[in-house]
Amino acid sequence: MLLRHARSLLFLPASNPRAIAKARTLPCDMVILDLEDAVPDDRKGEALDGAIAALGEGFDGRLSAVRINVEGMPSHGREMVALKGTAADYVVLPKVEHPKQVKDVFSVSQKPVIAMIESARGVLAATAIAGGEGCAGLFIGTNDLRKDLGIPPMAGRAGLSLAMQTVLLAARAAGVAAFDGVFNRLEDEAGLEAECAEGHALGFDGKTLIHPSQVPVANQVFGPDAQAVADARRLVEAATGGAERFEGRMIETMHVEEARALIARAEAVGL
């Protein structure tokens, strides 16, 4: 699966074998083994060992990634080295504010890097980060970014809109993937669906998640529905080149390309 086809990207503690085992039964598109926020400092080594063992077993066709600790943490270097040669598809790097941070991790781990944009500095450098060596995509870390910008915890996402669009623009300009931040309220399915719909409308490829119960909603919102796929197939079959009429509307090459991309996304996630 291409990274841009991923709808649901689930963080889970690499120190929790039960959570890792359960992830293999979930319909998420990516499993992210977390060595950072989800793991206490005194369990970082254990979590790294758990991540390497889990990667060796694989995730049954799901994309896999490991979120390492930020540059400057004692475990950062050890984690980069340890992931080289593993089956991880990506390394997730938190709190990125400069493309050199990504380049360094890529050079050591030999894994493409997904950079987390979690600060004002990161947002302003997002174009350089996305276009830098080794960067495969961007996550917008809305929790930390909200704190950095001084937005109250219970406020909506209006104050984040410029930052979200800036991160998305940076990713698209560089031709890499972009994913929306996590949703914290675990029992608010309606709120999760609304936030997924907002992210989808902005153009994000999928959503990062923190609980297995959130996976179906993200898959539904970010995945093309059957009717849209059927429409896309008819459009591709009917197109003969140039501007022409199709089912009451005008289409051209751009619309055919969009339809083909939608079909490819649907096929990638088994729709």
185-233 residue pLDDT tens: 999 999 999 999 999 999 999 999 999 999 999 999 998 888 888 998 9
At residue 20, what are phi and psi to the nearest 5 degrees? -65, -45
Q: Which residue is listed with tokens 């936030």?
A: 195
d(CA 193, CA 201) in angstroms, rounded, equals 12
- pTM of this structure: 0.92
Do residues 244 and 180 share a domain?
A: no
pLDDT of 271 > 80? The answer is: no
Instruction: Determine contact, residues 71/101, Cβ cutoff 8 Å.
Output: yes
Nearest alpha carbon to residue 19 among 211, 214, 192: 211
Tell me: do 162 and 138 sit in the same domain.
yes
Contact 136, 109 (CB under 8 A): no
The DSSP output letter for 74 is T
Distances (CA, A) of 246 to 220, 250, 259: 27, 6, 13
Q: Using CB atoms within 10 Å of the CB of residue 68, give its burial: 0 to 12 exposed, 13 to 18 middle, 19+ buried.
A: buried
Amino acid identity at 44? K
Residues 46 and 131 both lie in one domain: yes
Q: Same domain for 111 and 238?
A: no
Same domain for 209 and 233? Answer: no
204 is in which domain, residue-wise?
Answer: 3-222
CATH number at residue 204: 3.20.20.60
Q: Which residue has the tokens 């909506």?
A: 156
pLDDT digit string, tens, across residues 34-68: 999 888 888 899 999 999 999 999 999 899 999 99
Counting the structural domains of the chain, the total is 2
Please state whether beta strands 249-251 and 244-246 pair in parallel, antiparallel, or not at all (unpaired).
Answer: antiparallel
